[in-house]
Structure 1
Amino acid sequence: MTVLVLTCEADVTADMVVAELHEQGVPLVRFDPADLPGTGALSAEYVRGEFRGYLSIGGRVASMQGLRSVWIRRPGEPAAHAAEPSEWLSVETAHALYGMLDCTDARWMNHPSAAAKARRKPWQLRVAHQSGFPVPATLLTTHPSMARQFADQYRNVVVKSVSGKSPGDPPMALPTTLVPPDADFSGVAAAPTLLQRYVAKRADIRLTSVGDQHFAARKAAEPGQVDGRYGDTGHEWEPVEVPAQVARAVEAYKKQTELAYGAFDFAEDSTGTWWFLECNQGGQFGFVELETGLPIARAVASWLGAEPA
């Protein structure tokens, strides 16, 4: 049976997993939805209650009846590489492709509907609380007075993007930023704003959860550091044990969100507490594996290549 890897051509993280799948002798087809229609093709037939479907790319064919798993890693926009791309064609192609894949019995990492819901940060925070994670006090508001009250109450607060995307083209990452004491919150009325109590951290933690395996790495932070994604602290990622209570919370979180994979970010404070910041359902792990040697790509490949129950 075949593993279907949905990702773009330039994806080093996917390359690592593909290499592991080859090592394990698992058949796979790598397919970018951006190439459909064009160099990629599909066909699905529904006759007398029976379903047969196929995807093809570069001379390789994946039968929908023979899929064991689907890994949605970093797929391109459907029909983006078409001869005459359009928003209509992208929507039509997405409905055709993902609708056909929904007809299979394959396992997903992660299913598009679960992934879409899991991206929504307000819901993430609610699930994190319910799962048992420590979560910094957070406010999402369009009321300037509420923002000012929150900032006065917690004094040190940061502002974050709700979606993680900027309106630019191409989109840019928006750093988490400390709010100055004399901040003018009148602009909050123009767009939903997410404020959160600042956690004075001694380290960033990235926990990559693959099925029932959890791989954690720690990177020491500089005093006053806010967003660990930016700036060189002079420290590298190092493997770290996952506390039992964190593992239980991760498992509860993934069960409620129906995720097979999640990249969790935490801020470790001076007491050693791991504060939940977010869970990226499609987060990178290549940089962690390359610095720490944690066998994350092998774990992903093993999950994808496991025989159906």
Structure 2
Amino acid sequence: MTVLILTREEDVTADMVVVHLNATGVPVVRLDPADLTDGVSLSGEFVHGTFRGHLSAGGRLVSIGGLRSVWVRRPGVPAARAATPSAWLTEEASQALYGMLRGCDARWMNHPDAARRARHKPWQLRLAQRCGLPVPATLITTFPQAAREFAERYPDLVVKPVSGAHPQDPPRAVPTSRVAPDTDFSAVAFGPTLLQRRVAKKADIRLTAVGERLLAARKAVAEDAHPDEVDVRFARDDAPWRPVEVPPRLASAVRAYLRDAELAYGAFDFAEDGDGMWWFLECNQSGQFGFVEVDTGQPIAHSVAGWLARPGPSAAAVPHQRRRRGGALSADQ
């Protein structure tokens, strides 16, 4: 059975996993939905109560019924590179591709419905808190007065985008920034703004979860680091990431998060304070891991490949599949 990887052509993270899958002889088909109708083709036939579907990419034909797993890594917008792209064609291509794939029994990393929900920052924060992960005080608002009152209660704040997205094409990373003490919050009225209490961190933590396996890495903050340098992605310090053990209580909370979010993969970011507490910042359901593996040697790509290559989907691994027990719908719907 075949592993299907949906991602863009230039994706080093996916490349690392493909190397491991090839080494074990597991068939892999990799395609970008953006190439639909121009390099990627699909066909599905419903006859006499059965479905036969196929995908073609790079001269290879794969049966949708023969997929063991689907890794939704960082796919492009369906049909974006078609000869005559349009919003209508994108919607048609998306409905056709993901609609067909939803009908197969493959295991997902991660299921599109779970992934879409998991991207919402307010939803993440609430779930993290409910699962027992410490969350800094946070406000998302378009009310300037609410922002001013929040700043009075928590004088040391950071501001970050609610979605993490940037309007530029291709999008750029938007840094988390420290809020100046004399900030005028009037501009909050023009768009949702996320304010969060700044954690005086001693280190950044990246915890990569692959199924039940948790691989954490720690990057210490330099003692002379400026307190305005709050985003590890833009820090001038070149300290390497080092492997670190996950505290048992936090490991249980992370696994609860994954279970409730119905995710097979998640890249968790934490800020470690002076007392050693890990404060939850976010979980990226398709986050990068190559930079951590290079520094730490942790077998993240190997773990992802192993999860994707596992034979045969199980009902528990397909949480979005509707199942009936004794004629009644199951409770996990």
The TM-score bracket by the shorter chain reads over 0.9
Partner in structure 1 of residue 277 of structure 2: 273
**Mapped contact 1:34–1:82 kept (Cα < 8 A):** yes
| Counterpart residue type for residue 63 of structure 1 | S
Structure 1 range deviating more: 24-33 or 126-135: 24-33
Q: Does 1:100 align with 2:86?
A: no
| Counterpart residue type for residue 55 of structure 1 | L
| Counterpart residue type for residue 113 of structure 1 | D
Q: Does 1:237 align with 2:237?
A: no
Q: Does 1:6 align with 2:6?
A: yes
Work out the CA distance in 2 between the residues paired with 1:54 and 1:86.
24
TM-score normalised according to structure 1 size: 0.98
Write the deviation string for residues 15-72 of structure 1: whole angstroms up to 9, x where unpaired: 0100000112111111111111111110000112110000011221110111110001
For 1:293-304, list aligned pairs within 5 A.
Answer: 293-304=297-308
Partner in structure 1 of residue 132 of structure 2: 132
| Counterpart residue type for residue 236 of structure 1 | P
User: Any unmatched runs of 5+ in structure 1?
Assistant: none
Work out the CA distance in 2 between the residues paired with 1:298 and 1:166.
31
Deviation at 1:74, TM superposition (A): 1.2
Q: Does 1:255 align with 2:259?
A: yes
| Counterpart residue type for residue 195 of structure 1 | L
Partner in structure 2 of residue 83 of structure 1: 83
Deviation at 1:270, TM superposition (A): 0.7
| Counterpart residue type for residue 140 of structure 1 | I
Work out the CA distance in 2 between the residues paired with 1:244 and 1:153.
32
| Counterpart residue type for residue 106 of structure 1 | A
CA-based RMSD of the aligned residues comes to 0.9
Q: Does 1:306 align with 2:319?
A: no
Partner in structure 2 of residue 119 of structure 1: 119
Work out the CA distance in 2 between the residues paired with 1:207 and 1:260.
14
| Number of aligned residues | 309
Work out the CA distance in 2 between the residues paired with 1:164 and 1:273.
24
TM-score normalised according to structure 2 size: 0.91
Q: Does 1:284 align with 2:288?
A: yes
Work out the CA distance in 2 between the residues paired with 1:145 and 1:126.
23
Q: Does 1:32 align with 2:32?
A: yes
Work out the CA distance in 2 between the residues paired with 1:164 and 1:293.
28
Deviation at 1:144, TM superposition (A): 0.9
TM-aligned CA distance change 1:169 to 1:8, over 3 Å:
closer
Deviation at 1:167, TM superposition (A): 2.1
Partner in structure 2 of residue 57 of structure 1: 57
Identical positions, percent: 63
**Mapped contact 1:55–1:63 kept (Cα < 8 A):** yes
Deviation at 1:221, TM superposition (A): 1.4
Work out the CA distance in 1 between the residues paired with 2:10 and 2:107.
24
Work out the CA distance in 2 between the residues paired with 1:196 and 1:76.
31
Deviation at 1:300, TM superposition (A): 0.3
**Mapped contact 1:166–1:172 kept (Cα < 8 A):** yes
Write the deviation string for residues 219-252 of structure 1: whole angstroms up to 9, x where unpaired: 1113323111102213011111111111111111
Structure 1 range deviating more: 44-53 or 79-88: 79-88
Write the deviation string for residues 80-129 of structure 1: whole angstroms up to 9, x where unpaired: 22111111111110110000001100000001110010000000000000
Work out the CA distance in 1 between the residues paired with 2:247 and 2:107.
29
For 1:151-170, list aligned pairs within 5 A.
Answer: 151-170=151-170
Write the deviation string for residues 245-303 of structure 1: whole angstroms up to 9, x where unpaired: 11111111011110000000000011110000000000000111111100000100000
Work out the CA distance in 1 between the residues paired with 2:184 and 2:307.
49
SS of the residue 2:234 aligns to: coil
Work out the CA distance in 2 between the residues paired with 1:15 and 1:169.
23
Deviation at 1:14, TM superposition (A): 0.4
Write the deviation string for residues 149-189 of structure 1: whole angstroms up to 9, x where unpaired: 11111110111100011222332221111111111011111
| Counterpart residue type for residue 219 of structure 1 | K
SS of the residue 1:229 aligns to: helix
